Amino acid sequence: MTPDDFRKAGYAAVDWIARYLETIEEHPVQSALEPGAVRDRLPPSPPEQPEPFEAVLNDLDNIILPGTTHWQHPSFFAFFPSNTSPPAILGELLSAGIGVQGMLWVTSPACTELETHVMDWVVEALGLPEAFRSEGAGGGVIQDTASSATLVALLAARQRAGGIEAQSQMRLYTSAEAHSSVQKGARIAGFRDDQLVLVDTDATLAMRADALAKAIEADRAAGHRPAFVCASVGTTSTTAIDDVAAIGPVARKHQLWLHVDAAYAGSAAVCPELRFVNQGLEFADSYCFNPHKWLLTNFDCDCFFVADRKPLIDALSILPEYLRNQATEAGAVIDYRDWQIPLGRRFRALKLWLVFRSYGIAGLQAHIRKHVAWGRQFASWVEADPRFEVMAEPHLGLVCFRLQGDDAANDRLLDALNASGKVYLTATKVRGQRVLRLAIGGRLTEERHVHDAWALITKTATAQRLA
Ligand code: PLP
């Protein structure tokens, strides 16, 4: 591609994206293709000769889109949202265009310094503890995902608790409602499954601080070394919120590292009235949330903060000869390679910077507020219909509900809704019962889509009951 070819193809690609997003409602939300159907339509071997860019765009329309589940569809209510936005898409493009690899400050100072600066903006915009700002002992870094954030938090915790030598004695704590990435991180870090203790939850499915204290005391008495606790603010199943303000003092008393995973819910803190999600964060050694879920920033973007960066860097820093440079050795700069698992890193701060600058805090607040309001509205409709019940308090944009009756009736309802192509919902289990999850959080979702979803749910339930 010559520079002129690139310009032409680039404009065409942006046009394609703009048209896709404008017409996204014409597609069924969830792809209905059978396994293998996309590959069946692709040539078995790569082309011998170059092909025109238009041919690729055609194949996007004819092969890729039919096999796509449209996460940006306004009636996508499955899992948690995975927000994109025009400024963040352009941020990704600019990052690819500049093409730097920001492993060290010296490999591109702007890549590091913009990230440090934007992460300080995040602390201010979300009302997070000052200890997370970069001027002091702590600081923030963009990880690819919350899973990576939890893993590096665990490695820092292990470092502070005596390092690998002491690992076999260590105990880690979380609740059964925590995301599976906690268990996965523990396995990757080389902990046995029996070293991860699942602490009891209360009626709201939040971790019980008194049960945590008891478990820690029992483990200490048995000669184990309690080292790490992961609290969840907004669990994946139901957005249950662990009482971090009660868990924090327990962790402090026993010198455990407290990591708080607010992957989905953390974005809500951009609205001062929703800062219940920040309660107790002053006790946290580390914290993460995903702007790539609910803050209009394309995947991948997880904001990870530590109150003290030393144990993190001690755990992850190895300086081979080929990476030595004056700035690093003078200790005058941040080298984010020491804050993450891989060496190389993308210029992810660009998209978050563009999001802040394009929406402003006010725009981000409006985005979150409408979803929370519609979540409450939807829950009130469910409560008013005697055939249904709300299964967990809807704190934010997620509503968990079920049809009165057995699990099979709920499974049938979910299958029929998703097969319609008009909505996409997922399910979970709450206290052993099948529960449907409707997660409101898409940038393109409007009130009418939530309304239409409820109308479809009640109509489908009626039809199934009559059948
Ligand atoms: N933690 C929680 C509470 C989540 O809900 C999720 C995903 O939904 C994750 C962690 C994992 O997120 P990621 O895909 O960024 O690793």
The predicted-structure confidence for 258-291, as pLDDT tens digits, reads as follows: 999 999 999 999 999 999 999 999 999 999 999 9
The C-alpha atoms of residue 191 and residue 204 are separated, in whole angstroms, by 29
pTM of the model: 0.96
290 lines ligand 1 (CB under 6 A): yes
259 lines ligand 1 (CB under 6 A): no
Atom of ligand 1 nearest to the CA of 265: 3
The C-alpha atoms of residue 153 and residue 388 are separated, in whole angstroms, by 40
> Given a cut of 90, is residue 466 above it in pLDDT?
no
Q: Say if residue 124 is exposed, middle or buried (CB neighbours under 10 Å; 0-12, 13-18, 19+).
A: exposed
Residue 324 dihedral angles phi and psi, to the nearest 5°: -65, 140
Structure confidence by residue, pLDDT tens digits, 111-137:
999 999 999 999 999 999 999 999 999
CB atoms within 10 A of CB 323: 15
Predicted local confidence at residue 465, as pLDDT: 81
- How far does residue 140's CA lie from ligand 1's centre (Å)? 18
DSSP string, 185-254: HHHHTT--GGGEEEE-B-TTSPBPHHHHHHHHHHHHHTT-EEEEEEEEBS-TTT--B--HHHHHHHHHHT
Among 174, 179, 293, which residue has the most ligand 1 atoms within 8 Å of its CB, making it the best to mutate?
179
- Name the 3-class secondary structure at 170: strand
422 lines ligand 1 (CB under 6 A): no
The C-alpha atoms of residue 459 and residue 456 are separated, in whole angstroms, by 5
Give the pLDDT band of residue 328 (cuts 50, 70, 90): confident
Q: Mean of the per-residue pLDDT values for the chain?
A: 96
Atom of ligand 1 nearest to the CA of 149: 16
Report the percent of the chain where pLDDT is more than 70: 100
Give the pLDDT band of residue 320 (cuts 50, 70, 90): confident
Structure confidence by residue, pLDDT tens digits, 405-430:
999 999 999 999 999 999 999 999 99
Q: Which residue has the tokens 């690093």?
A: 328
Pick 267 or 32 by higher pLDDT. 267
145 lines ligand 1 (CB under 6 A): yes
Atom of ligand 1 nearest to the CA of 144: 15
Predicted local confidence at residue 319, as pLDDT: 85
Among 79, 147, 205, which residue has the most ligand 1 atoms within 8 Å of its CB, making it the best to mutate?
147
Nearest to 16 by CA among 82, 60, 74: 60
- How far does residue 146's CA lie from ligand 1's centre (Å)? 5
Residues 6+ apart with CB under 8 A from 235: 175, 177, 178, 179, 205, 241
Among 71, 83, 181, 295, which residue has the most ligand 1 atoms within 8 Å of its CB, making it the best to mutate?
181
Average pLDDT over residues 143-151: 98
Pick 322 or 134 by higher pLDDT. 134
239 lines ligand 1 (CB under 6 A): no
The C-alpha atoms of residue 308 and residue 286 are separated, in whole angstroms, by 8
- Name the 3-class secondary structure at 164: helix
95 lines ligand 1 (CB under 6 A): no
Among 184, 233, 236, which residue has the most ligand 1 atoms within 8 Å of its CB, making it the best to mutate?
236
Structure tokens belonging to residue 434: 């099948």
Among 263-277, 306-320, 447-461, the least confident range:
306-320
115 lines ligand 1 (CB under 6 A): no
